[in-house]
Structure 1
Amino acid sequence: MDQIGEPTQNQRLEGFNILLGLTEAVGTILVILVISWINYHRNGLSWGADPDTKFNWHPLLMVVGFVFLYANAMLLYRIQRNVRKRRLKLMHAGLMLFIIVLVIISLVAVFDNHNMKKIPNMYSLHSWVGLTSIILFCCQWVAGCISFLYPGLQGNLRASYMPIHVYFGNAGFIGVLVSCLLGLNEKAIFQLKEKYAQFVGEGVMINIIGIFIIVFGGLTMYLVSQNQYKRLPRPEDDVLLTRTND
C-alpha cells in the first residue's frame, strides 16, 4: 500500500508540513469568506430567473475551482510524495478536469447574467485576463495529458516538456489570481459605487477576500518553487501507464 506524506530518501522537508497546513487553512478561510460574502451581501445563490443570484456562482466557483483546487492540484506531487507517479498523474489530470467543469459552469453564470441585464460581454480587463488564463489552463491540460499520460511518448520528450509545463502552470495560476483581484475590485466599484470609499462592511469584506487570495497564492507559489520540497524520483516511476499493477 502507498505511504503518504513520509519523507523519501534524504529530502529536506523542514517546515513543509507547517507551511502546507497554513496554506490549506488560509485557502479554507478564503472559501468560507466568499460563501459568507455571497450569502450575507449578495442574496445567496440560485440558477433561476434572478440574474444577480445566478451571477454569484461565478465568483464562488472561480475561487473554489480556479484558486483553491488549482493550488492543490499544483501541490499534489508534494503532498502525496510517496504515491506512485502513475497514480499521481491520473489524480492530477482528473482534478484539473474537474476544475474545467467548474469554470465552464461559472462562465455560463456570468454570461447569462450579462445577457439578462443587457450588459456587454468581454469588455473589461478582468474578463480579458480571466479568459486568457482559462485558455492557457485548458491548453495545459491537453498538452499535459498527451505528454504525461500517453504511454507511447518517448521519455526524453516528456523530460523536455516538463519545465515548460511547470512554468506555464505557475504562470496560469498567477493569471488566475490577478483576474480574481480585478474581478473583486470591479464588483466593489460597480455595486457599491461611492459607498466603497466609506468603508462599508461589504467593501471591507471584499478587500479582506482579496488579501486572502494574495496570501494563499503567495504561500502556494513558495511551496511549489522550493526544490527541497519536490517529490524525488522512485524506481517504479518509469513503469508504463498501461501497467495495471500499482
Structure 2
Amino acid sequence: MSGVGKNKDLPIGLNQGTKPVVETSKQERKPEKMVKLSNVPALPFTYVAHVLEVAAAVLVLVWNIHFRGGIAWDSTNKSLIFNLHPVVMVIGFLILGSEAIMSYKGLPFSKEVNKRIHLTLHTIALVLGIWGISAAFKFHNESGIDNLYSLHSWVGLGTICLYGIQWIFGFVTFFYPGGSVALRRDALPWHGLFGVLVYILALASAELGFLEKLTFLQNSGLLKYGTEAFLVNFTALVVILLGASVVISASAPAHSEDPHSYSTISDA
C-alpha cells in the first residue's frame, strides 16, 4: 500500500513533487543577482574622472593666473612663487596621480604596458609633487614666514613621504629586482589598498590647502561672496568629485584582463 501512486521509473523529483526543485532554483538564482549588483564597471567612472581633471586644471589655472597674477619660480613678487604650489600640486600631483591609479586596469593595453604607464605616471606625479612642496617652502623662506605650522602642511608633507614609500615599495616588489611570486601575490592587495589611502590623504591635503588659502585671502579683504571665493570653493568641490570618481574606478572590477595579476613588469 505504501508504494501506491509512485512510479519507480520516474525521477525522484517527480515522485516527490516539484516544490523542492523550485526552491533549489531560487536559491541558485540569488547569488547571480548579488553578483550583478556588485559588478560596477570601472570605465564610465574613468570618463567622468577625465572630464573633472580638465575642469580642475582649468579652474586652478584661472585662479592663479587671472585672479592671483600668474606663477613664477623666481620673482620679486613672492606671491607668484606661492601660486606655483597649488598649480603644480593639482595638475602635477593630483591629476597625474589620478591617471596613474586608473591606468593600471583602465587602459586597453597589455598588463606589461599598463604597469609601465602606471609606474611612469606615478614617477612624474611624485617629482612634481616634490617640486610643488619646494615652491611653498621657497615662498615661506623668502617671505620670512614660518614653515610647517598648519595642519595642511603636516598632512601634505606626510602624504608626499608616504607616496614616496609607496613608489619605492612598488618599484622594488613589482618592477626591479622584483619579489617572488608568493610575495607579489600577497603584496598586491596591500599595495593597492595603501595606494588608495595615500591618494585620499592627498585629496584631504588639497582640501585643507584650499580652505587655508581662502581663509587667508578673506582675512586680507577678499569678498566672502566674491567671484574668486566662489571659484576656489568650486575648484575644491571638483577635486572632491574627481577623487570619488577615481576611487570608485579603482575599486570597480577591470573590464578586461585579470586585475589580480602579480607578475613583474618585465614578465610577458
Letter aligned with residue 231 of structure 2: M
Equivalent position SS for 2:64: helix
Cα shift readout 1:50-93 (whole Å, capped 9, x = no counterpart): 2110111110010012211111101012221x422222222211
Query: Among residues 126, 131, 141, which one is paired with 1:115 in the alignment?
Result: 141
Select which of 102, 122, 126 maps to 1:100.
126
1:57 aligns with 2:84: yes
Report percent identity of matched pairs. Answer: 29
Question: Which of 66, 70, 77 pairs up with 1:44?
Answer: 70
Give the conservation status (yes or no) of the 8 Å contact 2:218–2:224: no
Which residue of the other structure, out of 128, 135, 154, is the alignment partner of 1:128?
A: 154
Match of 2:25 in 1: none
**1:77 aligned partner:** 104
Residue 41 of structure 2 contacts residue 255 of structure 2 at CA under 8 Å; is this kept in 1? no
2:257 to 215, 228, 232: 232
- Unaligned 5+ segments in structure 1 are 1-11
Paired residues of 1:37 and 1:205 also in contact (CA < 8 A): yes
- Counterpart secondary structure, 1:143: helix
Q: Which amino acid aligns with 1:162?
A: L
- Distance in structure 1 (CA, Å) of the matches to 2:237 and 2:134: 27
Is 1:151–1:241's contact at 8 Å kept on the other side of the alignment? Answer: no
Separation (CA, whole Å) in 2 of partners of 1:143 and 1:152: 10
The answer to whether the 8 A contact 1:77-1:230 is kept is no
Contact 1:136–1:172 at 8 Å: present in 2 too? Answer: yes
Q: Aligned in 2, Cα 1:195/1:99: closer, same or farther, shift over 3 Å?
A: same
- Match of 2:137, SS? helix
Cα distance in 2, alignment partners of residues 71 and 238 from structure 1: 21
What SS does the aligned partner of 2:145 have? coil
SS of the counterpart of 1:56? helix
| Match among 186, 189, 206 for residue 180 of structure 1 | 206
Matched, 1:67 2:71: no
Q: Which residue of 2 aligns with 1:24?
A: 50
Q: Any stretches of 5+ residues in structure 2 without a counterpart? A: 1-37
Note if contact 2:130-2:160 (Cα within 8 Å) is conserved in structure 1. Answer: no
CA contact (8 A) 2:156 2:205 kept: yes
Of residues 175, 182, 192, the one that matches 1:149 is 175
Return the index of the structure with the highest Cα Rg.
2
TM-score normalised by structure 2 residue count: 0.78
User: Could you say if the C-alpha distance between residues 90 and 120 of structure 1 is closer, same or farther in structure 2, counting changes exceeding 3 Å?
Assistant: same
Q: How many residues align?
A: 229
Structure 1 residue 198 displacement after superposition: 3.2
1:177-208 superposed Cα distances (whole Å, 9 cap, x missing partner): 11001011110111221745631111111100
Tell me the residue number matched to 1:7.
none
What amino acid is aligned across from residue 230 of structure 2 in structure 1? V
**Contact (CA 8 Å) 2:111, 2:257: kept in 1 or not?**
no
TM-score by length of 1: 0.85
Asked if 1 retains the 8 angstrom alpha-carbon contact of 2:174 and 2:262, the reply is no
**CA positional deviation for 1:113:** 0.5
Q: Which residue in 2 is equivalent to 1:200?
A: 226
Cα distance between partner residues in 1 of 2:185 and 2:103: 19
Cα distance in structure 1, aligned partners of 2:262 and 2:230:
51
Deviating more after overlay: 192-201 vs 34-43: 192-201
| Alpha carbons 1:86, 1:241 under 8 Å: kept | yes
